[in-house]
Amino acid sequence: METTPPRTPRRTASARHACELPWWKRTTVYQVYPRSFADSNADGVGDLRGVISKLDYLHDLGVETLWLSPFFDSPQADFGYDIRDHFGISAEYGSLEDCRALIDEVHARGMKIVFDMVLNHTSNEHPWFLESRRSRDSPKRDYYIWRDGRSPGGRAPPNNWRSMLGRRGWHYDRATGQWYWASFLSFQPDLNYRNPEVKAAMLDVVRHWLGEGVDGLRLDIFNALFKDAAFTDNPRSFRPVPTEDNPDGFFQQALHTLDHADTFEFARELRAVVDAVPGPSRFLVGEVFGAPRTLRRYCGEAADGLHLVFLFKAMRVPFSGPGVRALIEEFERDFPEPLCPTWVFGNHDRPRSMHRLGNHTGKAKLLALLQLTARGVPFIYYGEEIGMPHADIPAEHGLDPVAAHFRFVPNWIARRLRRSGILLNRDESRLPMQWEAGAHAGFSHHSATPWLAAHAGSAELNVAAQTHDPTSMLSCYRQLLALRNRSVALQAGSVTLLDLAHTPSSVVAFRRQHGEGDRAEVVDVYFNFSPRDVRIELVAPHGRALFSTLRGTLEDAGTTLTLRGYEGVVASPR
């Protein structure tokens, strides 16, 4: 009987070039949180040289594109999402030379690199803001959003708008007697995109990094860029907290603060700027929040806006056949070709996916299968490939400014919120990468004090321990990525949900297909979202089972197959 020989996890040239879709639609993205990935100089903080030292690991894993959270010059009040100089590198992460070396080393491995652009706001230590707050007549005053307060005496905020974190987003500046607006935290004042000078300056930042050879940009809270020019009050709402489907919350609609029509328009302007930069094609992925049908507007009516947007809804998908089926249907309805969905299950702001799955490795492998075989661009958060667990760190020990912001929330409520996907202390999902057993999980030199302590379980759960174990989570990711990298159907094919006869709703199956007739490449994927074994009939007779999330390479499956509890199988019909 025929078995599939083990393959090396390299992208094959044939699969990469055999189809006409642009590279960014077929790519796989891995998010590195530089502070926590690898520390090369034993100061306890991850750095760019550390990332460079792990590029071979990432290449062998089989991911193509790296997205790095910000490492630009910053007071680090929000660990880099508060930029002081968009052209400089924060000393704790390295130098400009290290940054250029990173870009070159990534490219030398045939990989791509995406930087994190925080267009919405700067640090309050940015020279523009220091100048802007100096006086009402400052030439940079209008770089930010300043307003008079309401009576009496201007000591009431200009309107009722709340920040994305639920508190008042207006901050009073005693020296000039006006209020400035911050969509996130008070030390992150929003730039005023209605000022053409601001827009031009920030577009120069974009051009600068693309000119340095960066292949794409992740756009931080892009949906907050433009607000209502008349500063109209937001209408009231009954919603206490925002959800994946609706950014309204804190008892008001975000009508005038988020998803402004001018931001959709700006997405197109930005796209045109990016497209005009000489060299290979680049991509933009927007961090935006809401229902997929709203978020698609960022991609433009004629697919002439942002290339991709995060669809965070996947993070909350019920772990069930009907839940996953409905999500695929929704993504396909709202992001049909030429649009392209994204698959993201975790990031530096959200609980780790393992937390949601109750640390169940079998379930996590099934989710990885979904992420790497469904139509769209997968975004893997560092550590997901080894099933890195979430941490439990009480807010009072949090270094995260969001934890400080919510310090009044009792820990039992914070834990309950975490279960529903809301993270008040984001340190919990930012622990050092677990490379090996031993001091600091191999993240940093044993003599160093890491900025966050490694997870207590890292002695058992780490890259080294999983590397040669064929049943490990890491092996599962490697094999899935290898499979995807050599399959044009998985990278670029259409997707069709399949109806299997006599099969419970806990089973989901879809077909990926590229090309037609004799030249078509077809891959069928089966998921069992229940803990029970289920016997299924394969859609294509004599299907050759290629890969199982629980059993590795499978032998010829014939026409029926018993899926074990939480097992997923990729089969390619003969």
Give the separation between CA 378 and CA 369, rounded to whole angstroms.
Answer: 11
Query: Who's near 115: CB < 8 A, 6+ residues apart?
Result: 67, 68, 70, 209, 214, 216, 217, 218
Give the separation between CA 143 and CA 194, rounded to whole angstroms.
Answer: 9
| Number of chain positions touching ligand GLC (CB under 6 A) | 9
> Would you count residue 349 as binding ligand GLC (CB under 6 A)?
yes
Please state whether 189 falls in left (phi above 0), alpha (psi between -120 and 50) or beta: beta
Here the tokens at position 74 are 């910053």
Here the tokens at position 516 are 């037609």
Smaller CB distance to ligand GLC: residue 47 or 78? 78
What minimum distance in Å lies between the beta carbon of 229 and ligand GLC? 23
Smaller CB distance to ligand GLC: residue 348 or 486? 348
Q: What angle do CA 365, 385, 116 make, to 5 degrees?
A: 125
What minimum distance in Å lies between the beta carbon of 436 and ligand GLC? 28
Q: Each residue of 115-138: b (16+ CB within 10 Å) or e? A: bbbbbbbbbbbbebbeebbeeeeb
Here the tokens at position 103 are 């870009």
Chain-centre distance of CA 200, in angstroms?
A: 27
What minimum distance in Å lies between the beta carbon of 402 and ligand GLC? 7
Interface map 496-525 toward ligand GLC (x if CB under 6 A): ------------------------------
212 catalytic per annotation: no
What minimum distance in Å lies between the beta carbon of 57 and ligand GLC? 24
The single residue among 51, 89, 106, 118 that binds ligand GLC, judged by CB under 6 A, is 118
* Structural contact between residues 252 and 235, judged by C-beta atoms closer than 8 angstroms: yes
| Cα dihedral sign, 187-188-192-198 | positive
Residue number, nearest CB to ligand GLC: 81
What minimum distance in Å lies between the beta carbon of 504 and ligand GLC? 38
Smaller CB distance to ligand GLC: residue 383 or 493? 383
From the candidates 39, 64, 220, 524, which is the catalytic residue?
220
- What are the angstrom distances between the C-alpha of 421 and each of 235, 272, 385? 26, 35, 20
The single residue among 47, 64, 220, 524 that binds ligand GLC, judged by CB under 6 A, is 220
Smaller CB distance to ligand GLC: residue 257 or 466? 257
Query: Who's near 320: CB < 8 A, 6+ residues apart?
Result: 506, 529
Smaller CB distance to ligand GLC: residue 267 or 372? 267
**Residue corresponding to tokens 């006086």:** 135
Q: How far is it between the farthest Cα atoms of the chain?
A: 85
Q: What angle do CA 118, 121, 126 make, to 5 degrees?
A: 100
Neighbours of 154 (CB within 10 A): 15
Smaller CB distance to ligand GLC: residue 202 or 221? 221
516 catalytic per annotation: no
* Structural contact between residues 297 and 224, judged by C-beta atoms closer than 8 angstroms: no
The single residue among 221, 328, 474, 522 that binds ligand GLC, judged by CB under 6 A, is 221
From the candidates 259, 287, 384, 524, which is the catalytic residue?
287
**Residue corresponding to tokens 């809270």:** 221
Smaller CB distance to ligand GLC: residue 182 or 214? 182
Smaller CB distance to ligand GLC: residue 81 or 298? 81
What minimum distance in Å lies between the beta carbon of 31 and ligand GLC? 10
Give the separation between CA 249 and CA 238, rounded to whole angstroms.
Answer: 8
The single residue among 26, 140, 348, 455 that binds ligand GLC, judged by CB under 6 A, is 348
* Structural contact between residues 39 and 443, judged by C-beta atoms closer than 8 angstroms: yes
> Would you count residue 81 as binding ligand GLC (CB under 6 A)?
yes
Interface map 125-164 toward ligand GLC (x if CB under 6 A): ----------------------------------------
Give the separation between CA 39 and CA 49, rounded to whole angstroms.
Answer: 8
What minimum distance in Å lies between the beta carbon of 190 and ligand GLC? 11
Interface map 265-304 toward ligand GLC (x if CB under 6 A): ----------------------x-----------------
- Burial (0-12, 13-18, 19+ Cβ within 10 Å), 139: exposed
Smaller CB distance to ligand GLC: residue 344 or 523? 344
> Would you count residue 427 as binding ligand GLC (CB under 6 A)?
no
What minimum distance in Å lies between the beta carbon of 164 and ligand GLC? 8
Closest CA to 498 of 363, 325, 341, 333: 325
The single residue among 47, 73, 78, 332 that binds ligand GLC, judged by CB under 6 A, is 78
Interface map 377-406 toward ligand GLC (x if CB under 6 A): ------------------------------
Q: What angle do CA 112, 115, 121 make, to 5 degrees?
A: 165
Interface map 178-197 toward ligand GLC (x if CB under 6 A): ------x-------------
What minimum distance in Å lies between the beta carbon of 348 and ligand GLC? 6
State the catalytic residues: 220, 287
Q: Which residues bind ligand GLC (CB under 6 A)?
A: 78, 81, 118, 184, 220-221, 287, 348-349
